[in-house]
Amino acid sequence: MMNEQTLTKLHEMKLSGMAEAYKDQALNKEFQKLSFEDRFSLLVDLEHSRRKSNKLQRLIKKAAFMNSQACIEDMEYHEDRRLDKKLILKLASGGYIQDRHNIILKGPTGSGKSFLATALGVSACRQFYNVSYIRLPELLDELTLAKVASDGSYRKGIKKYTKVDLLILDEWLLTDLSADEASILLEITEARHKIASTIFCSQIDPSGWHIKLGNETIAEAILDRIIHDSYQILLDGEISMRERHGLGRDV
Separation CA 213–CA 177 (nearest Å): 5
93-130 pLDDT tens trace:
999 999 999 999 999 988 899 999 999 999 999 999 99
The pLDDT value given to residue 246 = 65
Among 120, 115, 134, CA closest to 249 = 115
Query: Is residue 210's pLDDT more than 50?
Result: yes
Q: Which residue has the higher pLDDT, 246 or 107?
A: 107
Which residues of the chain does CATH 3.40.50.300 include? 64-245
Residue 168 is predicted with a pLDDT of 98
Kindly indicate the confidence band of residue 241, based on its pLDDT and cuts at 50, 70 and 90.
Answer: low
Q: How far is CA 205 from the centre of its chain?
A: 22
DSSP labels for 177-237? PPHHHHHHHHHHHHHHTTTSEEEEEESS-GGGHHHHH--HHHHHHHHHTTGGGEEEEE---
Contact 178, 210 (CB under 8 A): no
Q: How confident is the model at residue 240 (pLDDT cuts 50, 70, 90)?
A: low
According to CATH, the topology of domain 64-245 is Rossmann fold (3.40.50)
Average pLDDT, the chain: 89
Per residue in 53-94, pLDDT tens? 889 999 999 999 999 999 999 999 888 888 999 999 999 999
pLDDT surpassing 90 at residue 32? no
Convert 111-135 to b/e letters by CB count within 10 Å (16 or more is b): bbbbbbbbbbbbbbbbbebebbbbb
Give the pLDDT score at 13.
77
pTM, entire model: 0.80
**What's the rounded Cα separation, in Å, for the pair 120 and 101?**
13
Residue 67's identity, in one-letter code, is N
